[in-house]
Structures are given as C-alpha cells and as structure tokens.
Structure 1
Amino acid sequence: MSATVSVAIVGGGPNGIALANLLGAYGVRTVVIEREREILEYPRAVGMDDEALRLLQTVQLAEPLLQDMISNVPLRMFRADGRCFADIRASTREFGWWRRNIFMQQLAERTLRQGLRRYPHVELRLGEEVTGCVQDGNGVTLQVRDARGQGYALRCDYAVAADGGRSAMREMLGVKLLGRTHSIKWLVVDVRNAPLDAPYTALNCDPRRPNVCIYLPYGYRRWEFMVFADEDEQAIATPDSVRQLLTPYVADPEAVEIVRARTYTHHSRVADRFVVGRVALIGDAAHLSPPWIGQGLNAGLRDVGNLAWKLAGIIKGQLRPAVLQTYQQERHRHAQAMIDLADVFGAMLMPTNRLKAWCRDRFFSAARLLPGVKDYVLQMRFKPMPRYEQGVVVHQPGAPMVGRMLIQPDVEDARGQRCKLDDVLGPWFAVIGWQTDPQDALSEDERAFWRALGARFLRIDRARSGNAPEARIRSAQGSTCVEDVDNQFSDWMAAHPGEMLVLRPDRYIAAQCTAAELPAVTRQFHDFTCELQRDERVAA
C-alpha cells in the first residue's frame, strides 16, 4: 500500500469511482478510500441522463452500464382522478444518448468498480476511513484508519471529497452547506414483483397524498409517498402501513415483496466553497437536491467530468495549478440552478392544497394547446444546461456556444465505420475543423503547442465528400478525418458559424472561431497552460 499518490478520493460511491476511472484513463496514480466494505444491495439513485452517459462513454463504460438500464423511459404526470395530464418523452439525442435512463445504483456501482481493474495505478481501499486532513503548499496529508483499525498517513498532491451528504471531509475543511432543509419527509419504498403494468415514471399529483412510482429493471419498482406532519415516520414504514399505501395502485398488495421502506428528509443546499486549497468537493458533499427532476447523481457526475481533466492536467504539468479554481467558477452556479429547478418542480407537482392542484392541472391542459410551450415541457427543455462564462474558455465575438456542451452526432471514420463523435475525439482536448484541416490554419509552433498539450486534430466533412468510396478526404498533416453521416453536425454548424472549435475533455466548447482567428485563440490558451515540456510526465 503506497503512502504517496497523486490524487486521493475520499468516498467510493458512484461519483468517486467514476472520477477514479477517468483519472485512471488519464494515467494519474489514484487511491480511493471507502468506509463501507460492500456495496449496499438495494436501489438508491435510479436515473442517469444523457450527459452522464456521455461522460462515462469517455472511459468505455456507457455501454456496459446500459446492459442494466431501461432507456428512453417516459415521465407521466397524473391528476387525482387518475387522468394523465402530461406525458414527457424527451426524444432528443443531441449528446448521443437518451435523456432519461433508469437504473439501479448497486448494479451501476459494480460495473464502475470493474472498470477500475483496467488501471494498475488506481487502488480501491475498502473498509477504511479518513479521520483527519491537513494540507500545505505542496500537498495534502490524510489520516486514515484501515480495515484492521490501524492508522496510517496518506500523502497526496490533491484530494477529493466524495463522501456524501454527511461528508466528514466537508466538516474537516470547515465548508458550510447553505440553503434549507424541507420540513416534509418522504417514505421511500422499494419493492419487487409488483403486479402493475406501468413501464414509466409516474408522478401521482394527488393532493390527498402525492407520490411517485418509478419503473425499475429486473422486476423492481419504487414508490415515494409524502409523509404528513401528524404521521409517525417509523409507523408509516411498517409492512402493514406500506401495503395499505400501495392498495390504490396494486391489485394485490400482499403479493408484493417489500425490499425496504425508509423515510427521508429532502435538502436544498449548496456548499459555500467547492475548492479549499488542494481539496475539491463533488456530489452530495458539495450539493444536496430534492429528487424531483432526478438530478442528484447526475449533478455529481457533472462535477466529476469538470474536475477530472483539470486535476490530470495539473498533475502532469500541462495546466497551471490555478485551473483548479475554475472548478468552483464553472460548477457552483449550475449546481444551484438545478436545485432551484427541483424546488420549483416539487412545489408545482406535489401540492396538498386542492385549489393549487386544480390550477396546476388547468395550466398543463392549456399548455398542450400551445405548441411552443408543449415542446418546452415534453422535451424537457426546461432543464438548464451548463454554460461556462468564466473558467477554461476563450470567448470570441459572435460565438454564443462557447462554454456549452457540443452535440455528439454519429460520424463515419476512414474505414467507413459508423461511430459516435467522441469515440474518434479521444478522451482529451481536440481541435476540430469543419470542412477544413485545423492544422492548416496553424504554424508549426502552434501545432506543437496543441500536440504537447495532448490535443487531437480532427477534420469533419459532409457525407460522401471524397471523389469515390475509396478516395475519402485525407489530411496531409495527419489529422483524423471523419464524415458527418446524418447531417447533424452540418445543421449545427449552419446555426453556429465558426469553422474551428477547441473542445475540452469534458466535451464543452473552449473556443469557436474562424480559421484566421485560430492562431490568436491558441495564444490565449497559453494562459491556462504551463510551459509544456516533452518529458516523461507529459508523454504519459
């Protein structure tokens, strides 16, 4: 067991293990400290969105995870009389994956942990607990109690707190969670073999007792029932009480196998700091959200995607240490925005006042008659997408998509094989040219800068742009060349002019410009980088 590593991750839940997979792919020596010895064998988080799957695609784990998922699951909202007043089916796949995918956390955690086996420089230490944290200008020292109860010191360049809503690391760092705790509690019931043919997520907006019913893989189903102030939270979780709550929805509640029933309190809180010196906070350690839009875990995975490449670049000597501070700049505001949306959604969907419920039902009935509003709701366009106005971005006039995630269409490679765009981009930076080779716009020194950073050059052309099937367009400079087989990238470029794109490892656009502007963008990008040397660290 090494006592010195590059990154120590405190917490081996899905966020911590996803981060370890990314750091593993980037060649960073990493240790994960997890207090529990085993994965908890019941569902917890149950929804994964398209952004999260795209992140995990980077480390070839999206497809393995999908083996245990139900994709493209509708979200239906029902009135007290049982009539459906909204059927939300987000058909867009602009990022390469369905927007709503239902899974069970314990199965996803197994897959994520199996992914770590590919990296000999990543270690998962189970049954261990961090009891102290001290940092200085050169690194962080964690005091750890191992599985036998013995203490040892773990020295790391950087540490990440991924230890959940009751984060001990957050307390050690003196970070405060700002916001509120909701007074109303909710009973979460996981069952198996419920005799109910409802392959969707149901929001039963019944003011008599609002509840949610979620269709899960492999015969599981989840209900979440509001617990009223005058009800005993322990008594309502007993099997007899649970079966009574299920009676309006299940023909034979006695046939249902209750896996667990537990009451929860919802929080709407965001940490006042996401970075303290050389320690960063991710997931529930950094923000706590009500579950109404299914963004708790997904928000944590956005943290992972934003942080992983920054830590890797800093540790490899490619990015300036100050880049770590951009994690706070880029993630804090969006985490708060998602929590605010969850609060609005909860207030709208779960009122116990009959008049408010009636007004809500009338609003949605009217919205169905307005195509723009209907599309906004049913395609989930209300979900705020991150846009980074500060951080690792170079803004150019007339480039509104800078700081936003790039679409992921299918492309065709030089062999004529169809694949997703990210699969040819690689896991790191990319410089993309639309119908032109980005290297042609750069001097040799400028090309060397991007190569030293590890960037991949990519040229994208329209489908069948070559003179013949065997005479596709090729790059004299060695750039990867692909074709836009479904015209999705072509349409996107027509709507967002600027034939050159600099893409970050998290698939956010760092810059968009013309070919003539690319040298200036390259010079501006020096602000984020160290003096790049072709030493062993960069080569790794």
Structure 2
Amino acid sequence: MTKPAIDIDTEVLVVGAGPAGLMLANLLGLYGHDVTVLEQLPELIDYPRGVGIDDESLRTVQTAGLSETVLPHTTAQHIMRLVNGRGKVIMTNEPKADEFGWPRKSGFVQPLVDKALHDGLERFHNVSIKFNHRVIDVVQTLDDVVATVEFDDGTDTPVTKRVRAQYIVGCEGGKSGTRKRMGVSFEGKSPATRWLVVDAENDPLGTPNVFLGADPKRPYVSIGLAHAIRRWEFMIFDHETDEQVTDKAFIHNLLKDHVPDPSSLEIIRERVFTHHGRIAGSFRQRRQIIAGDAAHLMPVWMGQGWNSAVRDATNLAWKLATVLRGHADETLLDTYDAERRDHAKAMIDLSLTLGAVIKPTNPFVVGARDGLAAALNLVPSVKSYFSEMRFKPMPRYTSGVVVDPTSFTAGKAKAKLSSKMIPTLTANNRTSPVGVQFIQPLVATKNHASIRLDEAVGNWWTVLAWGNNPQGMFDAAELARLETLGATFVAVVPESQRAWAEKEYPANVVVVGDITGGLKKWFDDRPTPVLFLRPDRFVAAAVLAQDAPRALKALLKALSFNEGANDASRTHLHVA
C-alpha cells in the first residue's frame, strides 16, 4: 500500500507561534537548521498577556540578533511596589543588577515583541511560518515524526497536509495537543480566582512604575508600559460574571479610584483570565517535545511565563542543533527536561506564593500580613533581599551537560568546590560556577573599543581562559574534538595586555580586554580560570589550566558526543 505523499519536509516542526515557538525557530534558524512553524490561528495573538522581560531573556534576544527590534518595545528598570489597601508601600522590588549585560527587570509590550520575533524569521531561508494550520495527529517512528495537518484555506473543506520532521516541538500553550498526544500528566493548581485585564493607550497616569495593590476590598495591579500603554488587572469575585465585568460601566467603576476620568480612557482591549500553576510530567517523549506554556503554566505575579518560555527555547535550541548535525546522540535531549524542570517548578511555586500575599481579603489575614511586612522592612538585610530581587531563584543546573569541577563527574555538578588544593582553599568564593550563567560585561577587541562579551565571542561553544592561551592547554586530538564541536577559543586579559596577547597567541584565539574590571573580579574570587561555556552561556565546566583536558573528556561524555562527527560548519558563528 502506497503511503500518502509528504507535503512538507523539515528538520524541526514547531507547533505554536507564541514566545517559545518563535524564539526556538529564530535560534534554530541562526544555527542553520530547517524549521517549519505551524500556528492554528490566522495571526499572532494580540490580547493582554506578559508585561515583564528579564535579563536572561534579553540576553537570548541578543543572541538571536533581535535586540534592535525588541528594545523599542521595552522599559528598563521596572520598579515594582507592593502596596496595601491604604496605599502604603509594604515592599519595593528595585533590582539594579546587570551582570548578564542587561537590566534585571524591564517592562515590555508582548504583542509587539512577539511580532519582532516573528518578523525575525524572515532573515532565514531555512525557516517558514504558516498560519491557519492545525495539527490533528502525529505518528512517530524511530527515524522521524509525521504530522497530519489541516489548513483552513477559507473554503468549506480544510485542506489536509502531511509534514515530516525529525522532531516536533509543541509550543501551543496550556491546552497543548502535543502534550496530550505524549500522554504525560499536567499536575498542579488552577485557582478559581479570575482577573480582569484592561489595557489603555495614551496612559492617563504617566508614571513608569508597577503597583501591586494588596487591597482587601479588591486586589489590583497597575503597570506603566512602553508606548504610553497602561495595564490594570483586577481580581474578580465569584459572584461576578465575565459578561458583567467586561461591561464598560463596570470597568469605569473599577477605575474610578485610579484615574480622574475613567469614561475618557482609550481602552485597547479587556479580557478575563484565570491563573494556573501546572507542570508536565515530562517535557520529552522520544521525538515529541514540549516547551513554554505547553510544559508549564504559572501565575503572572513574577512575570515569568514569557521568560520561562524563552529559557526553554534557549536551552533546547542548541541541543536540538547538536543532535541534528550528528555531534551527539539524542540522549542529549533528555538533559532539556533534567535542566529546565526544577527551575520552572521553582518559578511556579514562587509565583503562587506571591499571589497568596496579594490576594487575601480577610481583614485579619491582611492585618497580620501588613504588620509582618512593616517589621521585616526594619531589617536592612531583609529589606534589600526583596528590593534587589534576590528571592528570585536563578537557574542552576546540577545535572545535565555539566561537569563537577572537583570530581570531574560527567553529567553531575555539586554546588560547592571541595578540592583540597591551595587555590581552592584560599578562594574568596568556593561556590561552584558550574551550572549557572556566566556574566556578560563590556570588553574590548581589536575591532571594538567596547562590546558585550557574547557579541565578541560568538553564539556557540566557548573555551575561555583568564590570562592564558586556551589552545595551549590541549593536545592535537583534543583540539580536533573542540574544532568538531565548533568551539571558539577566547583569552581574557587586562586591557593593558591585550595588544601583547593579540601578537603572542594564535590568530584563531579571540583576545578580549577586560575594560570594566568585572571579569578580573570574577576570576579573582574563584579558583576556576578556565571555563567551557555552552551556547546558552551556562558554565558547563570550570577548572584550573592543567585540568582542562580532563574536564574536556568529562564534558564530551556529558554531552553524549559522537566521536565520528564532522565539523560544526553549519553553526553561524559571529566573532567581533
């Protein structure tokens, strides 16, 4: 029996044109792979959703080469104030850190940023996006997946297509068909509380801040966004229907304590939504993978839904690219679940906790909360803990594509350095840098007086050494493996030594000058002057110079490296 013809052949089929799908397609396009994105809607979603973009996501936007088109839709250093029913500030969140090269917290207009991601796909001849396409079935074999797709062409009978790919990634939201076909659980909480979102243009307030109103009469949120957009969110009580709360008179009554004249507002849109806190039992089932809201749903309080989707795409993209080009077997993809699960769960839990602080309407509970907040604000260390956003869990991978810097165990990394060698014993910081994101200060190169580190070293694997020639640490066979992996060799030196190093070191070693002192400070505090940086800028291994070959051997094992692989010519490296 003849099999039905294949209409589209692609390496990766992405289902859903939300932030996870769009960012994944951009990164895979950057890495040189064929991607087809299918979206069942006729266009991108244009209703109230995310409003916060963090430094990790902006770093990924930078990697994708889209900073110039995304930044105009953002407001840097978004300050959040939690206020009680009397308008008294009980907590301020004002993080000033920028160690990853971008402000820790910015506001953004999601529909416009999503459009920038969408438009970015036009750069790649190997990436296409198709709207009005709905996946109705998927069959996977040992070698591929074939999706049956309905295309709504406006006629009475949709056109049926068949799409073949090596992998399918479901990014189609909380009702993900991909997750359901995988047969995995989606456990967690879906609180019954509903919220009304109202977006207005020509901001009638004009203040740039974020206010979380822990008002027992009706909790609310007020947010100043880019392009003079004002966002309000109001908690809806059980007896209030969706139709009632979206009535203009009802909305005007909600806003009467917020603006002088609610009736003159230029409302863009309003929408009722419910918070969810759920996570899938697995993010991968053979050749089917899920990301973004399809893998985890979280309440809006920490503004981490969009950012968590981008983290998924950032983690998954380079791993898919590595497997597709034959540099690792597909067990590498198991590390996507292992690395992303714990942090996604931590962000869900934190978001639910913050919501529990904001939502109470019982006067006794509210009084106890306000009293506790007032007492805690008297302790400077506690106050700064919240102000500087140190309560937000940063991703730290203890299993996956990591190497323990003391035992050289492949695939596992303890949080502490336990070596008895004097460089470790005398270090200011014995916390392992493995499994966390490396800093991104400004540096100098022979072509740039000041440039962000990632832009200087490229978008793939990096072997980075402080004050040393990173190539001189490896023999010919090891250098060949690193060449196959597509690694860039980077020497970091004080700016005063850069001209010397550029003459002394091989021509294919990128020399960067530490013009801010940030890199020297980082290495001063840690006895790990040689780093293996993954494409997502996380530290995979960190060692002393003589241990670099041993670390490389363990890293290749953690990566499931294919010794018979060809070189990394498909990687789009950009070196300043």
TM-score for both structures, normalised by structure 1: 0.96
Which of 334, 339, 358 in structure 1 is aligned with 2:343?
Answer: 334
Return 314-323 or 31-40, whichever deviates more: 31-40
1:443 aligns with 2:475: yes
1:18 aligns with 2:23: yes
Aligned to 1:484: 514
Which of 52, 56, 59 in structure 2 is aligned with 1:51?
Answer: 56
Q: Distance in 1 between matches of 2:188 and 2:262?
A: 39
Alignment of 1:461-472 (within 5 A): 461-466=493-498
1:428 aligns with 2:437: no
Q: Distance in 2 between matches of 1:112 and 1:427?
A: 18
2:508 match: secondary structure? coil
- Identify if the C-alpha distance between structure 1 residues 477 and 223 changes in structure 2 by more than 3 Å, giving closer, same or farther: same
Does the 8 A contact of 1:77 with 1:202 survive in 2?
A: yes
Alignment of 1:16-95 (within 5 A): 16-95=21-100
Which of 438, 445, 455 in structure 1 is aligned with 2:487?
Answer: 455
Does the 8 A contact of 2:498 with 2:513 survive in 1?
A: no
Which of 266, 275, 299 in structure 2 is aligned with 1:257?
Answer: 266
Does the 8 A contact of 1:189 with 1:262 survive in 2?
A: yes
Deviation at 1:538, TM superposition (A): 5.8
Identity %: 37
Q: Distance in 2 between matches of 1:273 and 1:442?
A: 38
Q: Distance in 2 between matches of 1:511 and 1:236?
A: 54
1:241 aligns with 2:273: no
Q: String of CA shifts for 1:315-336, please: whole Å, max 9, x gaps.
A: 0011221100111111111111
- Please give the root-mean-square deviation of Cα atoms over the aligned residues, in Å: 1.7
Q: Distance in 2 between matches of 1:282 and 1:186?
A: 25
Q: Distance in 1 between matches of 2:202 and 2:379?
A: 40
Aligned to 1:526: 556
Deviation at 1:459, TM superposition (A): 0.6
Deviation at 1:415, TM superposition (A): 3.1
Aligned to 2:442: 410
Amino acid paired to 1:112: L
Alignment of 1:314-325 (within 5 A): 314-325=323-334
Q: Distance in 1 between matches of 2:311 and 2:283?
A: 13
Which consecutive residues of structure 1, in runs of 5 or more, have no partner in the other structure?
none
Aligned to 1:4: 9
Aligned to 1:290: 299
Aligned to 1:401: 433
Which of 97, 109, 114 in structure 2 is aligned with 1:109?
Answer: 114
1:218 match: secondary structure? helix
Q: Distance in 2 between matches of 1:3 and 1:60?
A: 27
- Identify if the C-alpha distance between structure 1 residues 460 and 371 changes in structure 2 by more than 3 Å, giving closer, same or farther: same
Q: Distance in 1 between matches of 2:434 and 2:471?
A: 21
Deviation at 1:70, TM superposition (A): 1.1
Deviation at 1:252, TM superposition (A): 0.6
1:445 match: secondary structure? helix
Does the 8 A contact of 1:317 with 1:538 survive in 2?
A: no
Deviation at 1:289, TM superposition (A): 0.3
Aligned to 1:304: 313
Alignment of 1:146-225 (within 5 A): 146-148=151-153, 149-225=158-234
1:130 match: secondary structure? strand
Q: Distance in 1 between matches of 2:136 and 2:378?
A: 58
Deviation at 1:185, TM superposition (A): 1.2
Amino acid paired to 2:555: F
Q: Distance in 2 between matches of 1:477 and 1:426?
A: 16
Q: String of CA shifts for 1:138-165, please: whole Å, max 9, x gaps.
A: 1111111123221111110011000011
Aligned to 2:421: none
Does the 8 A contact of 1:58 with 1:422 survive in 2?
A: yes
1:9 match: secondary structure? strand
Deviation at 1:349, TM superposition (A): 2.2
Amino acid paired to 1:64: T
Q: Which runs of 4+ in 1 moved over 4 A?
A: 471-474, 535-540
Deviation at 1:193, TM superposition (A): 2.8
Amino acid paired to 2:251: V
Deviation at 1:279, TM superposition (A): 1.2
Amino acid paired to 1:93: D
The number of residues matched between the two structures is: 538
Q: String of CA shifts for 1:491-538, please: whole Å, max 9, x gaps.
A: 111222211000000111000001111001111123221124336976
- Identify if the C-alpha distance between structure 1 residues 474 and 419 changes in structure 2 by more than 3 Å, giving closer, same or farther: farther
Q: Distance in 2 between matches of 1:114 and 1:263?
A: 29
Deviation at 1:374, TM superposition (A): 1.6
Which of 273, 276, 282 in structure 1 is aligned with 2:285?
Answer: 276
Return 303-312 or 189-198, whichever deviates more: 189-198
- Identify if the C-alpha distance between structure 1 residues 506 and 536 changes in structure 2 by more than 3 Å, giving closer, same or farther: closer
Q: Distance in 1 between matches of 2:22 and 2:193?
A: 32
- Identify if the C-alpha distance between structure 1 residues 410 and 473 changes in structure 2 by more than 3 Å, giving closer, same or farther: farther
Q: String of CA shifts for 1:182-224, please: whole Å, max 9, x gaps.
A: 0211111112234213211111111111111111222221111
- Identify if the C-alpha distance between structure 1 residues 252 and 65 changes in structure 2 by more than 3 Å, giving closer, same or farther: same
1:128 aligns with 2:98: no
Return 312-321 or 457-466, whichever deviates more: 457-466
- Identify if the C-alpha distance between structure 1 residues 507 and 535 changes in structure 2 by more than 3 Å, giving closer, same or farther: closer
Does the 8 A contact of 2:203 with 2:224 survive in 1?
A: no
TM-score for both structures, normalised by structure 2: 0.90
Q: String of CA shifts for 1:15-42, please: whole Å, max 9, x gaps.
A: 1011000000101111001111222334
Aligned to 2:382: 373
Deviation at 1:416, TM superposition (A): 4.5
Deviation at 1:360, TM superposition (A): 2.3
Does the 8 A contact of 2:485 with 2:568 survive in 1?
A: no
Q: Distance in 2 between matches of 1:233 and 1:511?
A: 52
Does the 8 A contact of 1:212 with 1:225 survive in 2?
A: yes
Q: Distance in 2 between matches of 1:77 and 1:17?
A: 33
